[in-house]
Every structure is written in C-alpha cells, then in structure tokens.
Structure 1
Amino acid sequence: MNAVTTGIVAGAAGTTMLNAVTYLDMAIRGRPASTVPDKTVESVASALGIAIPGRGDALAARRSAFGALGGIAVGVGFGVAASLIHRAGTRLTPTAGTIGIGLAAMAATDIPIALRGISDPRQWTTQDWLSDVVPHLVYGATVTTVLRQQDEATGHRREPGAERSSTVRSAAIGVASGLRSSTGIAAALLSGAPGSAHRARLLGATVIVGGELVADKHPNVPSRLAPPALAGRVVAGGWGAAALARRDPADTASALIIGTVGALAGSYGGAWWRQWAGRRMPDWQAALAEDAVALTMAAAALRPPARSLSVSAST
C-alpha cells in the first residue's frame, strides 16, 4: 500500500479504537456522551454562515451526526499525516508514537474548542482529563502499530532492544531535566564525540549543574511550574534526549517526544514531591533527595548503550 492508503487504514483503525474506549468508559461510568462535538459543529457552522437544517430533535440529530463525522475525518486525516511522515523516514518507536500521535490528535481537538470558548480545559477535573487522554493514547498506539506492521510487510528491519534502550534513556534524561533542568543541558554538552573540546564541555556541564544545585536551595527561587521555568525544563529535556539519540544513534524524533513528555512529568512530579515532603522534613533535605534522583537518572541516561561499548572495545 502507498503512504496515503496506509494512513487511511491506520487512521480508521485508530478512530475505531478511540470510539470503542470512549463508549466503554460511558458504559462503565454511566456518563452521558460529550456535547463538545455538537457544540463545535454549531460554532463552526455559525462562523461559516451555514445554517444546519431542522428543528428540535432533527436539528440535534444532525449536529450529533456532523460531530461524529468530523471526529472521523480528523482521525483519518491524522493517520494519513502520520503515515506520510513515517514514509519520509521518521519511524517512531511504539512509546513515542503512542504519545506523540495521540497527544497531537488530542491537541488538534482541544485547542480549537478552547480558542472558540466551547470548553475551558483549565477547569476540567482529573476525570475529564483521563476521559480525553486515555482514548487518544489508544488512538496513537493503534496508528503506530499499523504503520509498524506495514514496515514489517515491506521488510524494514528494526532493533527492538535498541529501541527500548533509547526509550529508557530518553525518559530518564527527560524526567531528570524536569527535576533539574541543567541535567538536560549537560547531556547535550557531553553527548558530543570525544575530542579536544571534551574537557571544556565537561567543565561547562559541571558548572551549570553545580550552579543549579546551589540555586535550587535558595528560598526565593521561582516555581518550576511558572511558564518560563517550565518551558526551559521541557526544552532541556527534549534537547538532551535528542542529543543522546544522535550519539547512539537512535531515532531523534522519538527521543525528542519522550524527553519532552518526561520533562513535563519530572517537573510536576518534582513540584509535588517538594510540597509533600516539605510538610514532613526540612525543605533542604527534600531538595537533596531530589538532587540525588536527578543526578542518578542523568548518569544512567548518559551511559552509552551496550552495543556502543562493544564496538569501542573491539577497536
């Protein structure tokens, strides 16, 4: 199959699974269907100056139908886009594909409804977020599975062990960057090939990490969840993971996705830890424990994969 046909199949399969998980959630929890698709159709039709025919139940039925058709179109469209990107050479790992494709599809629906005032994600409950995130992750996993199966049919070879190793390293440096953003920057500096500049990079990484470890203990340090600080941690996590992927080598796009999401998880997890631990011990002790976790994860991520070590030994 060509890329477009494969994408249509992948998108249709992903949309089917997304709908199945959504309806299963409705059946288990006894919750009603979301009215967001209907309101989106009404909002778009109003903006375009199009009147949906009918009144009462007939009008409601048409809005619901158009909302469902719109969801199918978005799902299939994202499948085609993912297939074209995949065919161009960006072959995401299962984890990166699940997260990247799933969250991209979710953003494509959530951002427009927020901008149009249909719903405000900032006011959603944890249950609301789970009802949105889980089906979209299932969508991403399904699309990724179809694309990878097509690779196998065409004889494209992979190294599952290397993919898993890269995923773990990317997640580790991402979470470490969420705890201490300097670890991601250090990973980017130290992932370069050894040479005359290695000592300078090592010194720079040491100064950057050491400076943050000291500054973090200051009582007036701003919250890591403030937009500028959070953005810096996310960039550091993605940058560090991508740099390690280029070193190994592994798929850079997959590493970037996992490192970025890992940095978000580390940022919120670290903030939660400091708040929780701060009620039970002095803050500096909680900070030192966080330092230890961040440095350990960064050191594990920086360690070259086994295949690189074996190659070095043979030379």
Structure 2
Amino acid sequence: MLYDQDNYIWKTVGLGAVAGMRAMSAPAILSNELSKIPTAHLSHSPLHYLQSGPVSTGLKLMAATEMLGDKIPRIPDRISPPSLLIRAASGAVVGATLFTANKDKAVKGALLGALAAVAATYGSFYLRKTVTEHTSFPDSFSGAIEDALMLSSGLAITKS
C-alpha cells in the first residue's frame, strides 16, 4: 500500500533506486498503482496527474520503450550527465509523490528520491559493467536480468 505512514520513506528510497535503473519505470509503476487506488492528498497537487489512467498507460509505454532502447549498444551510458539528470528527476517525482500522498513535505521526498536514484544509477551501471566484463553473458542479457530485478522490485515496493 502506498499510503503507509511507517514505510513511505523506504518506498521512496526503493522507487528512487528503481528510477536509477530505469528512469521511466519508477513513475510508471507508481502511476499504475495510483490510478487504481487514488488519494485525495494528491488531488490539489501538481502531481495529481499520476493518478490518471491515460497517464499511467503512457508512462508504461515509455517505460517499455526505455527497456528496449537500453539494449541498443550506441545508447549513451546512464551515468552521462543528461541521463543522470533524467534519472534524478524521475526519483524526485516519485519521492515527492509518495511524501505528498503521506501528508509530508514534497521537497523532502524529492530530495530523497533523487539521491536514491543517483546512487542506484552508479551502482547498477558498475554492477552491470562488471558482470558483462567478467562473464560470457552478452550485455543485452545482463540488461534483461536488470529489467527483471527492477520490475519485480518496483512492484514489490508498491504492493508491500
């Protein structure tokens, strides 16, 4: 449940980490949950759009496209400044949303989500690079494993 006074800080860290792995997946997973179980706490917030069914569908399509695009060899590294900024912004959005939904300050959530996203961006980048260098797995296989880990983690975070 997303509205949980005891766990929303950890959910912010978790979804921020998901944003660090795949920028569009964290808002897509969160929006999917919010479109099923909206909260009045977001209704007067700029973040209320995440509760919309069409927005949820659009974000899921963007997330799927990102997962496919990640397997293309010429895509810039996730730690390049533009990619890192997008992942931090994604973490900030999910953090602000979770904090607002739980009657806390959006700015605190945004900072926590962005920090978690940046940390996970570097962690997942170097982990995937190490796995690819030290195994016979192709990078696309490592990416698929990363996708499965990211998706299962994101869904578990929103359901717990």
What TM-score do you get using the length of structure 1 for normalisation?
0.41
Structure 2: which amino acid aligns with 1:219? Answer: P
- How many percent of aligned residue pairs carry the same amino acid? 22
| Residue of structure 1 aligned with 2:141, choices 269, 285, 290 | 285
Corresponding position: 1:237 with 2:91: yes
Pair 188,242 (structure 1): closer, same or farther in 2 beyond 3 Å: farther
Once the two structures are superposed, residues 135-182 of structure 1 have per-residue CA deviations (whole angstroms, 9 ceiling, x without a partner) of xxxxxxxxxxxxxxxxxxxxxxxxxx82x4011100011100000000
Q: Which residue of 1 aligns with 2:21?
A: 179
Name the structure 2 match of 1:300. 156
Specify which of 270, 295, 306 is matched with residue 124 of structure 2.
270
Amino acid at match of 2:92: G
1:184–1:237 contact (8 Å) kept in structure 2: yes
The residue correspondences of 1:197-236 to structure 2 (distance < 5 A) are 198-236=52-90
Task: Output the CA distance in 2 between the equivalents of 1:265 and 1:293.
Answer: 16
Q: Is the 8 A contact 1:170 1:301 kept in 2?
A: no
Which residue of structure 2 aligns with residue 257 of structure 1?
A: 111
Structure with the bigger RCO (C-alpha within 8 Å, sep 6+) is: 2
Is contact 2:30-2:158 (8 Å) kept?
Answer: no
Amino acid at match of 1:200: P
Deviation at 1:286, TM superposition (A): 0.9
The unaligned stretches of length 5 or more in structure 2 are 40-50
For residue 77 of structure 2, give the secondary structure of its aligned residue in structure 1. Answer: coil
Q: Is contact 2:25-2:60 (8 Å) kept? A: no
Count residues with an aligned counterpart.
142
Q: CA deviation at 1:189?
A: 3.7
CA shift digits 1:161-219 (9 cap, x unpaired): 82x4011100011100000000233256443638xx73312311220111011000111
Pick which of 261-270 and 182-191 moved more: 182-191
Q: 1:169, 1:300 within 8 Å by CA — same for their partners in 2?
A: no
Pairing of 1:70-85 with structure 2 (within 5 A): none
Larger radius of gyration: 1
TM-score (norm 2): 0.78
- Alignment RMSD (CA, Å): 2.3
Instruction: Quote the offset at 1:302 in angstroms.
Output: 2.8
